[in-house]
Amino acid sequence: MQSLTIRAAKTSDIPLVRELILALAEYEKLAHVFELTETQLREALFGERPSAECLIALVENEPAGFALFFTNFSTFLGRPGLYLEDLFVKPHLRGKGIGKALLRSLAGIAVSRNYGRMEWAVLDWNTPSIEFYKSLGACALQEWTVFRMDEDAIQEMAA
C-alpha cells in the first residue's frame, strides 16, 4: 500500500474532521440528524475541557479516514477504557488496511494508558463493519441493549 500515516488531529484539521463526520453520517443514512458545527467540534477536541480525541489517517498525504474516541470508565474493572465513537474510511480507500491501522493505533493508546477495554457500537445493518470487527477479534455483546435519551428527554428528566 501507499504511504499511510496515522496522527492526532490538529486544530487546523477541524474542517476536515467535520467533513469526514458528515460523510459518515451520510453513509449511515443519518445525515438528517447531523448538526455538528466547526465551533462545537473545536471545543470538544481542543477546548478548555476536551471531551474527545481524534486520529486522522492519511494516504500519500490525502485524508483517508478518522477515528474519534473518548475515555469511559468500568466500575467493575476499576479502570478507564476507550470508547470509539466513530471510525470512518473513505469508500474508495476501504479494504487497504486503513481501518485496521486506525484500530491498531487506538489499541496502542489503550495499552499506553492502561485502559481495560475498547468498546464501540455499530449499526445492526452494517454487515461489512461487523464482519471486519469480528475478524480483528472483537465480539458483539448480544446481552446488552443500548439506551439513549435525546435532549428533550434529558430536559424533561431534569425538570
Q: Show which residues are catalytic.
A: 133
Question: Hey, CA dihedral for 154, 71, 58, 133, is it positive or negative?
Answer: negative
Q: What are phi and psi of 93, to 5 degrees?
A: -110, 5
- Which DSSP category does 137 fall into? T
Q: Which helix H or strand E contains 81, and what residues bound it?
A: strand 79-89
Q: Using CA atoms, how far apart are residues 82 and 69, in angstroms rounded to an integer?
A: 7
Q: What are phi and psi of 134, to 5 degrees?
A: -65, -40
